[in-house]
Each structure stands twice: as structure tokens, then as C-alpha cells.
A and B are shown apart, each in its own frame.
Chain A
Amino acid sequence: MLETSNLSKNFRLHLQGGVRIDVLRGVDFHVSAGECVALAGPSGAGKTTLLRSLYGNYRAGGGAIRVRHDGQMIDIVTASPRLVVEIRDRTLGYVSQFLRVVPRVSALDIVADAARGVSPETAHEKAAQLLSRLNIPTSLHALPPATFSGGEQQRINLARGFIGSHPILLLDEPTASLDNANRDIVIAMILEAKAQGIAVVGIFHDTFVRDAVADRVFHVLPFQDAA
């Protein structure tokens, strides 16, 4: 569903005298339908950089990232920005650690807005179901999430990521600020997604979660070790 070949990424900080930081080099990675791959490695090794590169959020320095979109493998490193927007719309879902939304929009609308290919009524129904499943009480659905707790915001984010049922789902620490009960719900949701044939790539610091969902662990090594 998704593969990289010889992917590299470096950052050049022009404001810090042009310092160049190499993060990824020669990364060959793949994930198949219905499979969950966990990215592992010490802090600062480049896990998030890899995940963000896969989403096209970071611009790859070299190599290719091929995504199966409408039956074709498309390299998002060279694809036009418009095509990347469309791939994200239909194929590639992403759950970040932080919720970034237009202020004053209700939690329910935020989640329903991310649904694909359904009527607004169905989208709202699905959104309400997902939020309730994630233990967001109905009384909060109509409120904008700016005042919610960290764990609640993350669950809004998760609902938004899962409602689209994208064929590929990228998860950046989906359970980081959740209690055990909610963590178990997220594990169940990831397993269901896999059963539907969705390819999942995630960063899970919680080894319990990782062992529960991941079929395979992909080690991201700090640059100097990889050389």
C-alpha cells in the first residue's frame, strides 16, 4: 500500500547559520493492506520525521515514497501539491498528536467534516457514534474542543482520523495521553481497521499498545548509527 525506497531527509536551518541536520538516510520501508507496522527507535531518531514524510508533511530530501492511490502507485515526493491533497483526501489518513482546528467549531462538526463520501446526516451520525465510543459524553459534542482536556482532544483527533476509513492510516502516538480504558478502545479500533484491510503505520511509545496491534516493528536508527 505504501513503500519508500532510499528515502532521505535533512533539515537546513538558515537562521542558525545554515546548519544541516541529517535525519533519515537510505530508508526502505513498506506496509501492506491489513498490516500494522510500528516505528520504533530512541527519541530523536527520526520516527516522527519519517511518519510526517510519509504524509507529505515534510518534503523528502531524496528517494521515493510510493502510495497506492486508485490502484496506482504514486510517488508523493514528485507528485503535484494538488495530487497530494487528493491522495490525503481519499487514501492517506493521519492522526497527529495535536488538534489543530478552526476555533468555535463544535467537536461533532469537526469529526463529521472529516467523513468521506457520505451525506452530512450520515456523517454526523457516524461522528456521534465514534465520539460516544471514545467516551466523549454527548453533552460535549456540541462544544468546540479548545477547552477540552488533553486526552479528550486526542480522542477528537482519533475520531477524525478513523471516520474517513482511509486505506492507509498514519498514527503519531495515538494513545499518549489516554487512560487505560480509552487506550483499550483505541487498540480495538486499530485492530478493526486492520481487519477491514486498512494499512496502519504508527509510533507507539506504550509497549503494551505496540504489542497488541503491531505485526512488525520497523527500527528507525539515529543517523550516525545507521551510517
Chain B
Amino acid sequence: MTDQTLLSARGLNLRFGEVAALHNVDCDLWPGEVLAIVGESGSGKTTLLNVLSGRMAPQSGVVWYRDEAGALQDVHAMSAPALRALHRSDWGFVHQNPRDNLRMGVTAGGNVGERLMAQGRRHYGDIRAEAINWLAQVEIDASRVDHLPRTFSGGMLQRLQIARTLVTHPRLVFMDEPTGGLDVSVQARLLDLIRTLVRKLGIAVVLVTHDLAVARLLAHRVMVMQNGEVVEAGLTDQVLDDPQHPYTQLLVSSVLSA
């Protein structure tokens, strides 16, 4: 067990006018670990994800990322090209809306292959083969490899986005409601896929979800947010089975069980 964190945030604050989106948020993530951020709409989950991934700047506080060479990088002090390079290689971002990530005018295979080409891969046959392999892993038929994403259903788009993100074996993936809006059969396959790949490849994940069942199945640890503050954090099953904070108790007791 390594004691060096992969990602570490201290004292994050961000206000949108009167509204505190983040209030003194600290956060640590270790390699290979899945951390879920849960809470209701407007609790600051997605804002935290955006700040951790450098997509949005906090008003105060710092986010450190330990790169592959072991050097600590201040995410918000990096140059824009350096941050873009990080997002292209070491990091992945799975958006709630796959259209935010996919290039709608490029074929499915192209969408997956593009990330490989950005890493310097040039052999067309290899790239195509790997793209087809990844499409198969997310249950998209190989015959669709040359089709445009706009001919895909919502669930297929989400699966395509996962394939595009994971094809480069990133060390850290940010996920914003990856299973939101998918039909349940796809959701189950996707959950299993994410869980297996994360384990196999040792990917660390920061996962934003409002679905506590998703957090339970995927995450080692959870952070519960309310009004921009972390009200409770700890082992996933401990927080969900023995919640201490009134808000967490409310959240857990409000879940419908099918």
C-alpha cells in the first residue's frame, strides 16, 4: 500500500454570488481507488469534480496531482496546454452528456481511435483493431464502427464515451453521473464494465452520482455533500449502513428499493 496520494485537494472554496458551491472542501485520492461523491442536486458535487479536474478554478484552495514521474503538480497553476495534455493522456473525463465529449461528426471508431492517435499511435490497422475491440467491450457491434454517433441511441453514446475515455488506459478518470439516463440493463453492464476495468487497469476514479446503489457497487469510499460542504466521509458501506450525519440518514432512508 503506497502512502502517496494521486490527487489531493485542500481548502477548496468557490461561491457563485450568494451561493457557496464549495466550502472548505478537502479531498484525497490514492492510486487505484474509487471515490464517490454523493448528494442531492445543487449540493456541489459536479462543481467539485470540475475543480478537481482543473476545468473550473476555485476562489481559494489548491489541488495537487502526482504525475507519472512522481512530481506534484498544482493543477490550477499549470499552463493551459499542459493541462490539456494531462486530459489527453493521464486523465479521462466521462461526462453525464456524452455529446460533451464525443465528436459527433466523426465515426464511432474514429472517436475511440482519436485518443490513441493523440498519444502518438500511427498504425491505422492497429488503431482500428483496438477501436473495434473497445466497441465490443462496451457492447457496440463491430458493424457500427464506421457509423456516425448521431445515429446511436443515448445508451450507445454513453458506452462509446466510456470506450473513448478508457482506450488510453488513463491513471485517473473523473465521472459525472456515468449511468444517469441509461436503461437499467445497460446500466448494469456498464457498472460491471467500469468495476472490472478499474480493477484490472488500477485506474483511480472520482465518481459523482446521486445513485447510492452505484456508489455502493463501485466505490471504496464516499463523500457526502450538502450545500457545498462535505458533511460525512468514509468507507462506502459504513457511511451507507451506519450514517452518522442527519443529512446522510435522510439520503439513505429516502432510497426506493426495487
Residue in A11, A84, A100, A105 whose CB lies within 8 Å of B235 = A84
Residues of A within 8 A of B237 (CB): 57
Q: With A and B bound together, what is the CA distance between A109 and B244 in angstroms?
A: 34
Are A82's CB and B220's CB within 8 A?
Answer: yes
Residue in B191, B235, B242, B245 whose CB lies within 8 Å of A102 = B191
Residues of A within 8 A of B171 (CB): none
Query: At the interface, yes or no: B1 with Cβ under 8 Å from chain A?
Result: yes
Q: Tally A-B pairs: CB < 8 A.
A: 58
Are A102's CB and B195's CB within 8 A?
Answer: yes
Are B216's CB and A100's CB within 8 A?
Answer: yes
Are B188's CB and A81's CB within 8 A?
Answer: no
Q: With A and B bound together, what is the CA distance between A116 and B30 in angstroms?
A: 21
Are B242's CB and A58's CB within 8 A?
Answer: yes
Are B188's CB and A103's CB within 8 A?
Answer: yes
Residue in A13, A58, A82, A83 whose CB lies within 8 Å of B238 = A58
Residues of B within 8 A of A14 (CB): 245-246, 249-250
Are A102's CB and B250's CB within 8 A?
Answer: no
Residues of B within 8 A of A15 (CB): 246, 249-250, 253
Separation in Å of the A172 CB from the closest CB of chain B?
A: 13
Closest to B241 in A: A57
Q: With A and B bound together, what is the CA distance between A15 and B250 in angstroms?
A: 7
Are B192's CB and A104's CB within 8 A?
Answer: yes
The interface on chain B, measured as residues whose beta carbon lies within 8 A of the other chain's beta carbons, has a size of 26
Residues of A within 8 A of B79 (CB): none
Query: If A15-B249, A82-B30 touch, does A59 touch B185 (CB 8 Å cutoff)?
Result: no
Query: At the interface, yes or no: B234 with Cβ under 8 Å from chain A?
Result: yes
Query: At the interface, yes or no: A52 with Cβ under 8 Å from chain B?
Result: yes
Interface string of A1-33 (1 = CB under 8 A from B): 000000000011111000000000000000000
Residue in B191, B221, B242 whose CB lies within 8 Å of A81 = B221
Query: At the interface, yes or no: B122 with Cβ under 8 Å from chain A?
Result: no
Separation in Å of the B255 CB from the closest CB of chain A?
A: 13
Residues of B within 8 A of A86 (CB): 1
Residues of A within 8 A of B217 (CB): 101-102
Are B241's CB and A81's CB within 8 A?
Answer: no
Q: With A and B bound together, what is the CA distance between A100 and B250 in angstroms?
A: 22
Residues of B within 8 A of A59 (CB): 234, 238, 242, 244
Separation in Å of the A55 CB from the closest CB of chain B?
A: 9
Q: With A and B bound together, what is the CA distance between A56 and B191 in angstroms?
A: 25
Beyond contacts A15-B250, A103-B191: 14 other A-B pairs, Cβ-Cβ < 8 A, are: A14-B249, A56-B235, A57-B237, A57-B242, A81-B220, A81-B234, A81-B238, A82-B30, A82-B221, A83-B1, A84-B235, A103-B184, A104-B188, A104-B192
A-B pairs with beta carbons under 8 Å apart, 13 shown = A11-B242, A56-B238, A57-B238, A57-B242, A58-B242, A81-B220, A82-B1, A82-B220, A82-B221, A83-B1, A85-B221, A103-B188, A104-B188
**Closest CB pairs A-B (n = 9):** A14-B246, A103-B188, A58-B242, A81-B235, A104-B188, A102-B192, A81-B221, A14-B249, A85-B220
